Chain A
Amino acid sequence: MVDNALECQLESNSEILDEDQILVSAAQQDTEAAGRLFDKYYTEILGYIYHCTFNGTVAEDLTSNVFLAVFRHLRQYRWRQVPFRAWLYRIATNEVRMHWRRKKRIKIIGINPNDEEYNSVPSVVDSTAASEEYRLVHKALLELPLKYRTVIILRYFEGKPIADISEITATKEGTVKAHVHRGLAKLQDILVHWGVLPE
């Protein structure tokens, strides 16, 4: 499955890399270019974080943190280490990770015992059929360890190749493949147990 997954949805990144490279260099000097860089990635990152959290308000907050951090550290960014898109996703992934940690702490303290992780605040799109289906998947994903959840979202919902996920999560490709595989197996078990998937 993992090898096949590598073949699907792969995209050529050379063009994107070149364009990003120019844009990021310009954005380090010029506010207008920074605006274009923001416009290029805002929707993508907001979407990714929304798929991770399934909560519009939280997604907005975390997206704000991501972009403020990105532009604060743009001068420190070095192209050779990691492509810009991967760097952006890495920061977003870290923000999501921090979010879940904070949520976990809140649950332990018991400030709001009804605040289940998957009990998201309804957003504009929650009433659609697509959201209802995704709500179920997301609820199941929340049962997985974060490292499995992250790679599955990146692989299936953000369409990232294993190589990109490897750069985003700063782990070896082999490890990513293993995480995807184990995560899928666990997720399937959960959905089978819930009666969503046949045994």
Chain B
Amino acid sequence: MSKNIENIDKYLKDVVLPEYESHQHRQQLRREVLGKIERKHIMFSKNRFWKVAAVIAVLIGAGAIATAVGVRVYRYHFEGRGRDGEYHFSTEPEVIYKRTYLDPNGAEKTYSIMRGGSASVGAADAIDTEQARKDLEEIALLRQQDIRELVGVIDTEVNGHFHRTFRFKYVLSDGRVQTVGEGDPDKKETINPVQIEKDQEQIELLREKGERELIRVIDTEIESELHRTCTYKYVLADGREKTIGESDPELAQPATPLGTERIDEIWRLRRLNKGEFLGYEDRQVQGRTFTFDTYVFTLSDGTVVTHGVGEPKGLKTSLTESDWEEFRNLRQAGAGEDLGTYEQEVKGRLFVFNRQRFVLSDDTEIIRSSGTPKDDQ
């Protein structure tokens, strides 16, 4: 070493370095980076979907199961305000599985599994929709990593049929807290192509044997053609339930398919209450009576559509949009009959449930049990 720089060499080697850490930045950047890379993977995967399916099939054949869990970025956009003033947001639906097949009527049908999200934000006053949109995107990232706290459970029994929703608390990066109602986090749609194919094989066998239940019928009349979608519930061997929309075997197939864009637009108009309500009507479908609530919508291209959703007549097992509206009004008016309280452990946390009974105008009975954590009381 040159003698003239010995001092600086020794001095620099002895310098105690400062350290800098930022847990918040680390977490934020990690989420951002992984979100981007996951989105990129999905885009890439679309182009080589069948190759991937084949590779996975080989792996399964060899007794190895590979699963990949990642963080996905959802881009929400603001749709508009709904019938009771809530703000609706949704993501672009993404096709994660698509297969074309001939249905029992010989019509070419596409079975697809879509992934996407929609959300409604209730607010008495006007909200900053851009901020709400960003919040929803951040919540979607937190949800996928399960960075949240279960703070509520709501059980709804409609004529004895049980539905459960959860309320999760999310702490956003700027410290704000959002509480969001959601479905069961343990109930996830399978996206493994091989599993989907296996489920499809089972469903086809069940269809051939007629072992399915018609639970909903959707009639869409457009340009003098009726498009009927029958939603069937199939129960697989392992107990999982699959609901699939299919054509009605008793009807002739329309010449022109509706198309995804039109279907999406119709449901969006329905969510936003942008149609004219024509009333309720009973129709016979495959030997059963269904009660349809029918609306008329005008699509963006000027096409007029009549759209009816039919539920089995008689005791309802789930609530329609107008039922939910009536139910909300009853709750706000405090019209529920108090049925007492009980305790129950849900996902490792003890909740105290307040139980109330409501009756809608069509005699639908709803028992609502709202659970809050006991350790919060």
Bound pair: A and B? yes
Could you list which residues of chain A lie within 8 angstroms of chain B, going by C-beta atoms?
1-5, 27, 29-32, 34-35, 38-39, 42-43, 46-47, 50-51, 54, 56, 59-60, 63-64, 67-68, 71-72, 74, 123-126, 128-131, 133-134, 137, 152, 156-157, 181, 184-185, 187-188, 191, 196-198
B12 within 8 A of A: yes
Chain B nearest CB, measured from A103 CB (Å): 19
Name the residue on B nearest A51 (C-beta): B17
Contacts of B252 in A (CB 8 A): none
Partner among B11, B19, B41 whose Cβ is within 8 Å of the Cβ of A197: B11
Q: Which of B1-41 contact A (CB under 8 A)?
A: 1-2, 4-9, 11-13, 15-22, 25-26, 29-30, 32-34, 36-38, 41
Contacts of B8 in A (CB 8 A): 184-185, 187-188, 191, 197
CB distance A156 to B13 under 8 Å?
yes
A to B CB contacts below 8 Å, 15 in the list:
A32-B70, A42-B29, A47-B17, A54-B18, A63-B29, A67-B33, A68-B33, A71-B37, A74-B37, A133-B15, A134-B18, A137-B12, A137-B15, A157-B12, A181-B5
B71 within 8 A of A: yes
Q: Which of B52-94 contact A (CB under 8 A)?
A: 68-71
Task: Give the CA-CA distance A197 to B4 in the complex, in Å.
Answer: 12
CB distance B16 to A134 under 8 Å?
yes
- What number of B residues sit within 8 Å (CB to CB) of A? 34
CB distance A47 to B25 under 8 Å?
no
Contacts of B70 in A (CB 8 A): 30-32
Task: Give the CA-CA distance A98 to B30 in the complex, in Å.
Answer: 23
Q: Given contact pairs A157-B15, A187-B8, enumerate 9 new A-B contacts (beta carbons under 8 Å).
A: A1-B6, A31-B71, A50-B19, A50-B20, A64-B29, A71-B37, A125-B19, A125-B20, A188-B5
Name the residue on A nearest B13 (C-beta): A156
Task: Give the CA-CA distance A72 to B4 in the complex, in Å.
Answer: 46
Given contacts A1-B9, A152-B12, contact A71 B36 (CB under 8 A): yes
Chain A nearest CB, measured from B329 CB (Å): 45
Contacts of A27 in B (CB 8 A): 37
Task: Give the CA-CA distance A125 to B12 in the complex, in Å.
Answer: 19
Task: Give the CA-CA distance A132 to B5 in the complex, in Å.
Answer: 23
Name the residue on A nearest B71 (C-beta): A31
Task: Give the CA-CA distance A47 to B19 in the complex, in Å.
Answer: 7
CB distance A59 to B30 under 8 Å?
no
Task: Give the CA-CA distance A60 to B26 in the complex, in Å.
Answer: 9
Task: Give the CA-CA distance A31 to B18 in the complex, in Å.
Answer: 32
Most buried by B among A42, A157, A184, A185: A184
CB distance A185 to B17 under 8 Å?
no
CB distance A197 to B7 under 8 Å?
yes
Task: Give the CA-CA distance A198 to B1 in the complex, in Å.
Answer: 18
Q: What is the 8 Å Cβ interface bit string for chain B, positions 157-170, against chain A (1 contact, 0 not)?
A: 00000000000000
Contacts of A68 in B (CB 8 A): 32-33, 36
Given contacts A29-B41, A32-B70, A56-B22, contact A184 B5 (CB under 8 A): yes
Contacts of B33 in A (CB 8 A): 34, 38, 67-68, 71
Task: Give the CA-CA distance A43 to B68 in the complex, in Å.
Answer: 25
CB distance A31 to B37 under 8 Å?
yes
Complex A-B, nearest 10 residue pairs according to Cβ-Cβ distance, in ascending order = A1-B1, A31-B70, A188-B8, A130-B16, A131-B18, A50-B20, A156-B12, A60-B25, A184-B5, A31-B38
